[in-house]
Amino acid sequence: MTKQTRRKFTPEFKAKVALEAAKDQLTLAQLSQKFEVNAVTISKWKSEFLANLSATFYNVKETENSEPEVPVEKLYAQIGKLKVELDFLKKVQRNWGYPRANGSRQTKTKSTVFAETMRIAVHSTQFVVLCANT
């Protein structure tokens, strides 16, 4: 005994059967014999077909233009800014003496850490301005 796999119907075939059912020229039993599909399935396809019939007349251009287009250059500038901020925060984290990957701690005075943080911030700001201008 071989196991039968479930039949899969293409959307074109479903539309064809649903259109025939919507015409009401043949009964569901006759359509079932003609297309070799269960009558309940044909009934479901017909109801889906009739429910979604109005979607055919929607203007595709209106739905596509509903989302504003963001320029690629602006996105690249934002990526650059976020990378600079991430690098800045990683350096600040290291400067404040948080544990490193090897478990050792870095100890510095607060004035040294503040001076290094300000130097990094100025450098990062200059880089962001440079990226935004390109």
Among the listed residues 95, 94, 98, the one whose alpha carbon sits nearest the alpha carbon of residue 112: 95
Phi-psi region of 36 (alpha: psi -120 to 50; beta: other; left: phi over 0): left
Report pLDDT for 104: 56
- pLDDT (0 to 100) of residue 28: 92
Asked whether the whole model's pTM tops 0.75, one would answer no
Q: Specify the pLDDT at position 25.
A: 92
Residue 133: C-alpha distances to residues 2, 63, 126, 129 (Å): 68, 34, 11, 6
| pLDDT recorded at residue 6 | 86
What pLDDT, on the 0 to 100 scale, is given for residue 17? 93
Q: What is the reported pLDDT for 43?
A: 94
Per-residue pLDDT of the chain in tens (134 residues, 90 and over written 9): 678 888 899 999 999 999 999 998 999 999 999 999 999 999 999 999 999 888 877 776 655 555 667 788 888 889 999 998 888 888 777 766 655 555 555 555 656 666 666 666 665 555 555 444 54
